[in-house]
Amino acid sequence: MKWRRFNGDPINLPVKEEVRQAIVRETAAGHRLKVCIGTDSQVKGPDTEFATVIVFLREGHGGFMFIHNERTKDVYSIKERMLVEVAKSIEIAYELCDLFTEYDVDMEVHADINTNPQFKSNLALREAMGYILGMGFAFKAKPEAFASSSCANKIVN
């Protein structure tokens, strides 16, 4: 799984080790961290592109993110695509959660799903919320889910 920084520089270490180093570096610099993980997708012709982000927020001092893009020819209904986004976020959150516990870093999983029933993505809200909360992670949906609806959205468009 290839990850990169926002400036395009590749991350050559396994993402877990890169996240560990980021946490150690930022906490040594005196920053209180919070991590938000989210995925967004865009259908482009026959392809569906997914972007997953790990957003590091430095309390009162901005933030930075790691990015992973993936493209598939799979065709999804809107509900399936929303749940695949959530599954990709949970996969990364699960891989990294012991680091966040070890270093006492708060973590949330953000779903690019609208809480307003007038939007199509709302079809997946109950399942996505149950999936994320059932895994023991904090959950945010739109409009609070900035990692997926703002950060990942900018990468996938």
pLDDT at 1: 81
**For the chain, what is the domain count?**
1
Query: Which range of residues forms the domain containing residue 42?
Result: 3-156
**CATH number of the domain encompassing residue 98:** 3.30.420
What confidence tens digit (pLDDT) does each residue in 53-102 have? 999 999 999 999 999 999 999 999 999 999 999 999 999 999 999 999 99
Binning pLDDT at 50, 70 and 90, where does residue 156 land? Answer: confident
Task: Report pTM.
Answer: 0.95
Average pLDDT over residues 115-131: 93
**Whole-Å CA distances, 20 to 89, 104, 105:** 18, 12, 11
What confidence tens digit (pLDDT) does each residue in 7-54 have? 999 999 999 999 999 999 999 999 999 999 999 999 999 999 999 999
Rg (CA), the chain: 15
Mapped onto helix, strand or coil, the DSSP state of residue 116 is: coil
